[in-house]
Amino acid sequence: MRGGERLTSESAFEEIQRHYQQRDLAAREWKGNGGKVVGYFCDAVPAEIILAAGLFPIRLSGDPHGRTDVARQNVIPRFTAREDFVHSILNMLLTGEYDFLDYLVIPHTRDSIHRLYQLIAMLKDSDPSLHLPEIFFLDSIHTTFFSGGLYNRDRMLELKERLEEWSGKKITSEALSRVIAITNENKVLLKKVAALRAAEPPCVSGVEALQIIGSSMFMLKEEHNKLLKEYLDGTDKLPARNGTRLFVSGSPLDSLQLFEIIESCGATVVADDNCWGNRYSDVLIDTSLDPFEAIADRYHNRSPCSRMYPMSRRLEYCLQNVVEAKAQGVVFNVFRHDAAEIWEIPGKTKALEEKGIPSVYFRNQPYLISEPEPLKASIEELIEKIQDSQ
């Protein structure tokens, strides 16, 4: 934990980077001070309610560079969506990398996350001696109709009750309102970062933005807000970035690999539609409503995840953000067996073509990009095509 001094913009960013790289840093510190930690997957779990319970929420990510051998030994090697990611998470859970977790909330989102729930539950059943956190399955529907919203709201209420059990205290409306104010502020600050990234010319890179956004999910929000304000105070001095403006769409990106490759080709990822990227912060919670109901509404109507119906919302979201960010081209990246994404890409590609925006599509990608050269070549080709057309 840093002291009370005010950091420079550069130092604030270094601190943000530190938390992005050492994702368990803040959670372990919290745990060391006697607090309890709740892990969760996806952007579908209301971290606000966890915070209001006085618990530390941390979004779990895999490690493309990490090992998977222990997971593969312990888990039936059955086909699963985004297998590399699933095995990475399981390996981290089984080898103690996530040993600071007291509880784990797993939402009913895409098939790979649902599979993770089943595998963790089976592992816990088959070997109670394994040090795995207590899990809560946050059921939800995949349509976005009113009746489904009511179902989701009731499941969220059950989560709230479970969090109250875990923390041993009631979650009051006042506590929720207080947290909403903090998380909304966080999202507003992240939107400022998104604006700097999409500015003409941009002064924040995609790689920097992913770290800023991602670290928000690994830290307490007040702490992140302080860092963000300190960082933003100095962004007027940041140098403008040259190069082609690209947009990234596709599978969830919990590492920097793809953005680093793209930006090493001289482009800037000016925006994205990723749950580890801009999509995390672009819908605020309505403070004019009852705080719990407002949270339930926000998560039901958040920016569309590819696991939600209808796909047309996804297409519109992508196109709108490409246009708003004045992106000159789009990179689609889909992990192996990520069926939620794979069916969307042809429609998006076609719609972009009609707008005269070229794209490149990396399909069946491994979680770890061990051979970046072919991707670089395709990106350079895309950049050349864009430059030739100007």
Partner 1 sequence: MTSDRGAAQLESANAIRAYQREWLEDTRQRVKQGEPFAICNGDEFEEVFNIMDIPVIVINYWNSIIATKRMTEYYGDVLTKRGYPANYFAMGLASTIDNDPETAPWGGLPKPALIIGGTKSDTEMKVLEIWAREYGCPFFPLDFGLDAVPELPKYPPPPRWWEMMAEHWDGLIDSRRLDLRVEEEKALINFIEVTTGRKLSMAKLEQGLELLNEQEMLWGKARDLIAETIPCPVSLRDQLAVYQAQWHRGTVRGRDFIKAYYEEVKERVENGVAACPNEKLRLLWMAGTPPSWAKWAEEEYGAVCVASLFSSIPIDSYYRATINGDVMRALASRHMVLFLETPDWRLKDAKIHQCNGVVETANPSVPSFNKKLFEEAGMPLCQIPRDRDDEEVRSVLSNFIETRLLS
Binding site for partner 1 (CB under 8 A): 76-79, 81, 108, 110-111, 117-118, 121-122, 125, 137, 139, 141-143, 145, 147-148, 151, 154-155, 306-307, 309-311, 338-340, 342-347, 349, 361
DSSP three-state, residue 7? coil
Tokens 């519109």 found at:
316
Q: How far is the CB of 78 from partner 1 (least distance, A)?
A: 5
DSSP secondary structure string for all residues of 303-366: SPPTTSSPHHHHHHHHHHHHHHTT-SEEEEEEETT-HHHHTTHHHHHHHHHHTT--EEEEEEE-
Q: How far is the CB of 162 from partner 1 (least distance, A)?
A: 13
Nearer to partner 1, 141 or 289 (CB): 141
Omega before residue 57 within 30° of 0, cis:
no
What is the C-alpha separation between 373 and 321, in angstroms, rounded?
28
Q: How far is the CB of 198 from partner 1 (least distance, A)?
A: 28
Half-sphere exposure of 93 (CA within 13 A, CB side): 32
Instruction: Cite the DSSP H helix spans in the chain.
Output: 9-21, 25-32, 47-52, 69-74, 83-94, 111-126, 146-167, 173-198, 206-216, 221-233, 257-264, 291-300, 311-324, 339-342, 345-354, 373-388
Nearer to partner 1, 121 or 181 (CB): 121
Q: How far is the CB of 124 from partner 1 (least distance, A)?
A: 9
Half-sphere exposure of 187 (CA within 13 A, CB side): 19
**From residue 142, how far is each of 148, 149, 274, 300 by CA, in Å?**
8, 10, 18, 10
Q: How far is the CB of 161 from partner 1 (least distance, A)?
A: 14
Both tokens of residue 91?
């390996």
Nearer to partner 1, 79 or 371 (CB): 79
Q: How far is the CB of 345 from partner 1 (least distance, A)?
A: 6
Q: How far is the CB of 146 from partner 1 (least distance, A)?
A: 10
Both tokens of residue 375?
């991707």
What is the C-alpha separation between 211 and 280, in angstroms, rounded?
13
